[in-house]
Structure 1
């Protein structure tokens, strides 16, 4: 019988350390517990769902959706529990057929390539353009019609009526100082019987004048220079204010008004239909 250790006791010890046999999930769980973190804490910090954290700690990587996602979750969880992710990833690659090869980029984007669409004619733009043309034509027609109506109302608004084509132009006569012009044939002819017509001429200087119709509407308000004249018509009455009545010669309903207005005198006059009379 031998004394001392038996041959079996002298055999070398086998490597039975826990680290050599610790799985990925167990290593992550131990590191989490050592860090004093719960599964909820890790899920909130990494945004990895609680169910996936439980599955990985149980070495079930199916809920990850593939090896690429599983490797990403392992790396994220390892950093959250202050564990080096490199050995865990190496062990995962060894147990699952190696690290996945990168996917070529071209096939991924090929499906997203969009063919250009054939566009038809832009009918909306054509309709808008047609509407603009129609509106412009209507506006131009209305503007031309307004010009025609304005020409008809020139006499009522205080403009001097133009002689008709049938009338021959009256030659101008030289006016010497101290002489007042005689009424022209056109002024007398332009005095219809159913209206009152007043012609104001500045023969001896300039004068400010104001003219209104029977409704009080202003026909003219301004300065009449020497040699200028204005003619006003209304259906019943014309009201005048002469700033310098002595410089003015009046023709009412085609007839000359004989007056004795003094130079610089202000006169307020009213004329109606019929014979000349001051109201």
Structure 2
């Protein structure tokens, strides 16, 4: 059975098949998301071929060779229970090596698979979805929120690095270039105390990443996105360490959808400052 399967590095020509696999699963990624990861990490993006057809994928995004984020783990439903996901994971972990911290966001179903590969749970997140027809019961307080400009990037990158634990310059610039009108910040005393970026997906506008010093700033940033993208389906992934925001999100028209489990292979050398780390970019990018 194994002789029928062949792992190789992903190529641009594979993206059509990769998009087909993710569409079947109802995921939110676009071809631009795949291209970002592939362009920056070609040796960490893999496919499995069966009879010259792509039947599985996995990708890892490396943040400055310090933190590698594994995502885009997909296997064609007709080829499951053949050990494909484990083979892909072992191969990408081997390619990442031992110098980087390795993390991922798993579904509850995938958690046990990853535990067998050496991953342990760090904490839970929950996905929240807001339909374009939803109505907010809150009066939005967004007067302090500003649009991000290119001149803000040095301070944003410094703030983000401190909270996230690794340099995400390339990712943040990519998000801004793709959707500049979806990037906002708040300043107090001339210093940034919170920011948010957004990403257009195939099904939802994904809110995140978002770093904030306070819940008040976090609410204002999310409210500003609701103003800017009224009439869009929205999604965000929020850690349980900010569970006090759950009632507020519900009042804004969001509904809790499902759990995600943040996992890592010990030792965990890159840790987020959870008090300020609100929204992730997405399960495929952390």
**What is the TM-score of this pair, normalised by structure 2?**
0.21
| Rg comparison, structure with higher value | 1
The structure richer in strand per residue is: 2
